[in-house]
Amino acid sequence: MKKNSESNHMGNFNKKVEYLDSMKRREEFSPENLLKLLPIKSNDTILDIGAGTGFLTIPAAKVTDGMVYALDIDPNILEIAYAKATNEELENVRTIQGEMQDLPLSANSIDIVLASLVLHEIKPLSETLQLINQMLNVKGYLACVELEEEETPNPNHPRISSTNMEQELNKAGFDVIKKRYPTDSMYVLIAQKQQ
């Protein structure tokens, strides 16, 4: 029975990796297009939450000389991100296995936080957004990419509407300064930490 369970897990893992690195995802909204929405400086420190295979981490590490932290709960998927960084000879990528509250980073130490297709999974969202706010430097930025809520919610695929996300960001001390809708179902909110 254990072998079947392991086989099932590997199948799910492979599907996840396949989606995270898919051309479809890149065509819908490329990492480079997301990064262009942010005023990234050459020495900015970036945190990629739910980094997965490094879809955003690797391109981010190419536009800053600052450290790029890839945070994910899955150590196996982080190995893929680390291997990509190594292959690209990027020495400014650090992988961290865990959740936001596990981060060994001090307050006001991050310039930009990237959160792509991950915040809808975090409960309670308000606490995580407050942790992100604490991590960010004064006037730091959060880039949030999510899928719009469906008319008939699917309990297996939770989503949060752009309106609700904007309200949560405001409550956590952010001002939404840019909104983009790359597809009918996807939205991007660029939020700046309030002073």
Tell whether 44 is covered by a domain. Answer: yes
Tell whether 68 is covered by a domain. Answer: yes
pLDDT band at 22 (very low <50, low <70, confident <90, very high): low
**Distance between CA atoms of residues 58 and 90, nearest Å:** 8
Domain with 166, as residue range(s), is 30-193
What total of structural domains would you count in the chain? Answer: 1
Q: Residue 146 is encoded by which pair of tokens? A: 């999510």
CATH number of the domain that residue 156 is part of? 3.40.50.150
Coil vs helix vs strand at 177: strand
Tell whether 3 is covered by a domain. Answer: no
Coil vs helix vs strand at 93: strand
Tell whether 135 is covered by a domain. Answer: yes
Gyration radius from the chain CA atoms: 16
Tell whether 117 is covered by a domain. Answer: yes
pLDDT in tens, 78-119: 999 999 999 999 999 999 999 988 888 999 999 999 999 899
Count of CB atoms situated within 10 Å of the CB of 178: 13
Tell whether 48 is covered by a domain. Answer: yes
This prediction's pTM:
0.88
pLDDT band at 21 (very low <50, low <70, confident <90, very high): low
Tell whether 6 is covered by a domain. Answer: no
Torsion of CA 52, 56, 57, 58, to 10 degrees: 110
State residue 4's pLDDT score: 44
Q: Is the pLDDT of residue 145 over 50?
A: yes
**Distance between CA atoms of residues 166 and 173, nearest Å:** 11
